[in-house]
Structure 1
């Protein structure tokens, strides 16, 4: 893709994000901008063009060598016509590489260029994952700040209630309640400072991928939708087949093709190398003025690997071992990705169980307990410590729920990375 077109596309995306969406940035928009703005992809396209050019150039014979000289020049008189062997020589030699080595070398460059698009797929998947994780960190910090600010009003109401009670009663307990209420508000402010620091840090890291990220709000879209049932119902065979389409696996497969060609290239060293030589010698007239015949020479030299066969054997065997090691790397990479998928599936299952526990039992119970403690305190049938502890527990549970939801979304993003190359991974 032309760099100018990339910049224009990125600017249009940024204009759409900032203007059309009133500075609301969805995850899918963030990923698209990051991929469009990634200079690595431009460099990869340039490397591909360079490799294709090398492939074309490698298919041609090496340049012939020309020589011009004077042979058998007498040193006693330096007379050009004195000796019949004295001549001006012009020659040319052309080397013909071994076997099909030119075609195979050209094929290697071509196969390397064909790897570049696969590498760009890997890069886009890595960018998507990196941006998704940072984007989710920022969203969690932002949502936590909003949650604490919403609950801070409740703690301020409790503090006002304590102040009102303290003005009517100077007991020791009321004084402790006043100190506790002020302390909790200070602790909430401290948590807000920490969260804003996290929010700023994650946004600053995102600016590496999205330079013009600005200060707009983030909005979660459908980019990370995947049900636990959809994940758990896959068999090991199906998972392996899906992950085998991952570009990192296809990249290794392409490396195997290159290694096959390199083995064939090494085998060409058993073939002879030919050099064709031709020269023309011009002789001047003799001392009496009689013309001399010019001379023409032609010959062929050949390099036959007779005494160095063990060296060729070793080189071919080394290339074969290298190819087999790449095949092993492919198997290891596939197993690692499959194991990662299974680990993520298990983690998502546990996170879903925690989400169900929080939503169905823990949060309703904490809310009910906090309301009961507050009502009891307002009717002088409870103490402030119980009220404040109940409200803190409820707030902590809501923050923990946000953390669990964010962690699940991160695991889904990692699953989408593993499914890159499939319909589900591309749809993300």
Structure 2
């Protein structure tokens, strides 16, 4: 390898890397990461959380102070500021202070809202991952079914050829040939339906994957998925966490209602200048004033008491809803795991008995038909049963992995695929 080749070779490798990556079938895990990175709703959740954090800092601040500029006791006959001894030019400042821990509680509530949005974002990411998996598995299921129908087409073509040969020699009736042609036509129609479903699933996936949804996809079943044995649903699940943060917000709101029993208060400081002179011609002294204002929450029966009780009822409603949500999620988990176990048993039955029996029956019926020991109806039925068993097996696998995807949503710590974005 000469010096020029040594220089060009690494550059060519780097240029070819994207082409090599593009030539690889797109996997489910890669599709999930692409969707999580491009989904705009997740970005919206992040921006909303940041906005609430900014508002939390704002909520903890004191109100803006008020500047007071005033002229007091002006004589209306001349409007001279030095005519009357009580005429003043006043400059002051006023500051209000919310009652008790109002500012800290407002900030606590806003931070809880921000955390709720982040929890909802995490839950949305889990749901998005589940949605991608469901559509991907639908696509895989229809792709497998289409391939299976395509593999069986030569079998049905063979039936057409056999019946035509027997009919030509007078050994069988034309009805057998027509039945075989009908079966082949029905199979072709199912192929068209499978193509339609594959196209629809690719269209669904293109929402998140763009043009990559129409490239080669790895449609193999995710055999590394396994049913988790853990349970129940963790209280760290983002959906439950979002409900818990709503309870925390309402707890802060209840505490804020309690702070309304305490008075708001304010401070006012002012300096008043006088321009008038006294009896001997000296300028009168200026004034300095200080005042404190305090609210008097005396009549609380139909104000603070009512509001406090209302917030308390809202808090209890959220707590009940949170407990009900956890029960609902655990019920869904039990149902999902039960469905997974039943489908596992069904798949085992297919592998160990049904598929082999269907194959044996179809071969035996065809051999008997060739030997004039069976009717074509037996061949047609046994071949159709074998095909349906194969299709049912693929559909059962699809339902099994889709049920696992639902369980993985409820138990994200046991799910494959890495961390959420």
TM bin, normalised by shorter chain, reads 0.7 to 0.9
Look up the match of 1:217. Answer: 217
Look up the match of 1:191. Answer: 190
Q: For 1:388-427, what aligned pairs fall within 5 Å after superposition? A: 388-420=380-412, 422-424=413-415
Comparing 395-404 with 63-72, greater Cα deviation is found at: 63-72
Report SS of the residue matched to 1:91.
strand
The CA distance in 2 between the partners of 1:204 and 1:369, in whole Å, is: 40
Post-superposition CA distance 1:335-363 (Å, at most 9, x none): 11111111112222222232223222222
Q: Is the 8 A contact 1:28 1:223 kept in 2?
A: no
Q: Is the 8 A contact 2:29 2:417 kept in 1?
A: no
Look up the match of 1:95. Answer: 96
The CA distance in 2 between the partners of 1:161 and 1:349, in whole Å, is: 43
Report SS of the residue matched to 1:296.
strand
Structure 2: gaps of 5 or more residues: 1-15
Which of 327, 342, 349 does residue 335 from structure 1 map onto? Answer: 327
The CA distance in 2 between the partners of 1:75 and 1:329, in whole Å, is: 67
Q: For 1:165-184, what aligned pairs fall within 5 Å after superposition? A: 165-169=166-170, 174-184=173-183
The CA distance in 2 between the partners of 1:176 and 1:402, in whole Å, is: 32
- Alpha-carbon distance, 1:327 to partner: 1.8
How many equivalent residue pairs? 402
Q: Is the 8 A contact 1:270 1:309 kept in 2?
A: no
- Alpha-carbon distance, 1:282 to partner: 2.7
Q: Is the 8 A contact 2:250 2:315 kept in 1?
A: yes
Report SS of the residue matched to 1:398.
helix
- Alpha-carbon distance, 1:221 to partner: 5.9
Label 1:275 to 1:92 Cα distance change in 2 as closer, same or farther (>3 A): same
The CA distance in 2 between the partners of 1:223 and 1:290, in whole Å, is: 101
Report SS of the residue matched to 1:24.
coil
Report SS of the residue matched to 1:244.
coil
Q: Is the 8 A contact 2:234 2:411 kept in 1?
A: yes
Report SS of the residue matched to 1:25.
coil
Q: Is the 8 A contact 2:274 2:285 kept in 1?
A: yes
The CA distance in 2 between the partners of 1:39 and 1:79, in whole Å, is: 67
Look up the match of 1:347. Answer: 339
The CA distance in 2 between the partners of 1:250 and 1:78, in whole Å, is: 68
The CA distance in 2 between the partners of 1:224 and 1:159, in whole Å, is: 41
Over aligned residue pairs, what C-alpha RMSD do you find? 2.6
Q: For 1:244-255, what aligned pairs fall within 5 Å after superposition? A: 244-255=235-246
Label 1:45 to 1:18 Cα distance change in 2 as closer, same or farther (>3 A): farther
Q: Is the 8 A contact 1:17 1:24 kept in 2?
A: no
- Alpha-carbon distance, 1:59 to partner: 1.8
Structure 1: gaps of 5 or more residues: 1-14
The CA distance in 2 between the partners of 1:47 and 1:344, in whole Å, is: 33
Q: For 1:336-375, what aligned pairs fall within 5 Å after superposition? A: 336-375=328-367
**Structure 1 residue 275 and structure 2 residue 266: aligned?**
yes
- Alpha-carbon distance, 1:52 to partner: 1.7
TM-score normalised according to structure 1 size: 0.86
Report SS of the residue matched to 1:381.
coil
Look up the match of 1:315. Answer: 307
The CA distance in 2 between the partners of 1:384 and 1:22, in whole Å, is: 47
Look up the match of 1:112. Answer: 113
The CA distance in 2 between the partners of 1:21 and 1:80, in whole Å, is: 86
Label 1:393 to 1:426 Cα distance change in 2 as closer, same or farther (>3 A): closer
The CA distance in 2 between the partners of 1:297 and 1:303, in whole Å, is: 20
The CA distance in 2 between the partners of 1:423 and 1:281, in whole Å, is: 73
- Alpha-carbon distance, 1:291 to partner: 3.0
Post-superposition CA distance 1:53-95 (Å, at most 9, x none): 2222222211111132333333334444333333322222110
- Alpha-carbon distance, 1:21 to partner: 6.6
Comparing 144-153 with 284-293, greater Cα deviation is found at: 284-293
The CA distance in 2 between the partners of 1:320 and 1:50, in whole Å, is: 28
Post-superposition CA distance 1:114-134 (Å, at most 9, x none): 334322321221111111111
The CA distance in 2 between the partners of 1:184 and 1:21, in whole Å, is: 40
TM-score normalised according to structure 2 size: 0.87
Q: Is the 8 A contact 1:26 1:221 kept in 2?
A: no
Q: Is the 8 A contact 1:17 1:25 kept in 2?
A: no
Label 1:366 to 1:354 Cα distance change in 2 as closer, same or farther (>3 A): same
Q: Is the 8 A contact 1:366 1:394 kept in 2?
A: yes
